[in-house]
Amino acid sequence: DKGEFKHYMLKEIYEQPDAVARTLDMALESTETAHSYQLRDDFLQRHETQLSNIRHVQVIACGTSYHAGLVAKYWFENLIRIPCSVEVASEFRYRNPVVVDNSLVICISQSGETADTLSALREIQKHSPTGLVSLALCNVPTSSLVRETDIFLPTLAGPEIGVASTKAFTTQLAALMLLVLKTGVTQSCIDDERLYTLLENLHKLPNQLHASLNLDASIKAMSESFEDKKSCLFLGRGLQFPIALEGALKLKEISYIHAEGYAAGELKHGPLALVDKDMPIVVLAPKDSMFDKLKANMQEVHARHGELFVFASEESKMVAEDRLHVVYIPDVCETLAPIVYSVPVQLLSYHVAVMRGTDVDQPRNLAKSVTVE
Ligand code: F6R
Q: Which residue's CA lies nearest to atom 7 of ligand 1? A: 164
DSSP annotation of 306? P
Q: How far apart are CA 243 and CA 249, in angstroms?
A: 10
Q: Are strands 84-88 and 56-61 parallel, antiparallel or unpaired?
A: parallel
Cα separations (Å) of 270 from 182, 214, 239, 276?
40, 36, 22, 14
pLDDT tens-digit map of 258-271: 999 999 999 999 99
Our answer on whether the CB atom of 161 is closer than 6 Å to any ligand 1 atom is no
- Please, what is the average pLDDT of the chain? 96
pLDDT tens-digit map of 78-93: 999 999 999 999 999 9
Q: How far apart are CA 50 and CA 27, in angstroms?
A: 18
Task: Give the whole-number percent of the chain exceeding pLDDT 90.
Answer: 93
Closest CA to 159 of 167, 149, 147: 167
pLDDT tens-digit map of 1-29: 899 999 999 999 999 999 999 999 999 99
Look at residue 33 and tell me whether its pLDDT is greater than 90. no
| Cβ atoms of residues 51 and 183 within 8 Å | yes
pTM score: 0.98
CB-based contacts of 126, cutoff 8 Å, min separation 6: none
CA of residue 12 to ligand 1 center, whole Å: 15
The ipTM estimated for the assembled molecules is 0.99
pLDDT tens-digit map of 202-244: 999 999 999 999 999 999 999 999 999 999 999 999 999 999 9
CA of residue 258 to ligand 1 center, whole Å: 18
Q: How far apart are CA 246 and CA 65, in angstroms?
A: 9
Q: Which of 204, 220, 295, 368 is catalytic?
A: 368
| Per-residue model confidence (pLDDT) at position 199 | 97
∠ CA 136-350-87, rounded to 5°? 30
pLDDT tens-digit map of 141-152: 999 999 999 999
Our answer on whether the CB atom of 246 is closer than 6 Å to any ligand 1 atom is no
**DSSP characters for 216-272?**
HHHHHHHHGGGTT-SEEEEEE-GGGHHHHHHHHHHHHHHH--EEEEEEGGGGGGTGG
Q: Is 368 a catalytic site residue?
A: yes
Look at residue 316 and tell me whether its pLDDT is greater than 90. no
Q: Are strands 37-39 and 28-30 parallel, antiparallel or unpaired?
A: antiparallel
CA of residue 165 to ligand 1 center, whole Å: 6
Closest CA to 259 of 242, 238, 282, 237: 282
Look at residue 131 and tell me whether its pLDDT is greater than 90. yes
Closest CA to 308 of 288, 324, 290: 324
When mean pLDDT is compared across 18-27, 59-68, 357-366, the lowest value belongs to 357-366
Q: Kindly state the average pLDDT of the residues 304-323.
A: 92
Split at pLDDT 50, 70, 90, the class of 66 is very high
CA of residue 211 to ligand 1 center, whole Å: 26
Look at residue 353 and tell me whether its pLDDT is greater than 90. yes
When mean pLDDT is compared across 50-64, 241-255, 266-280, the lowest value belongs to 266-280
CB-based contacts of 127, cutoff 8 Å, min separation 6: 99
Split at pLDDT 50, 70, 90, the class of 34 is confident
Our answer on whether the CB atom of 90 is closer than 6 Å to any ligand 1 atom is no
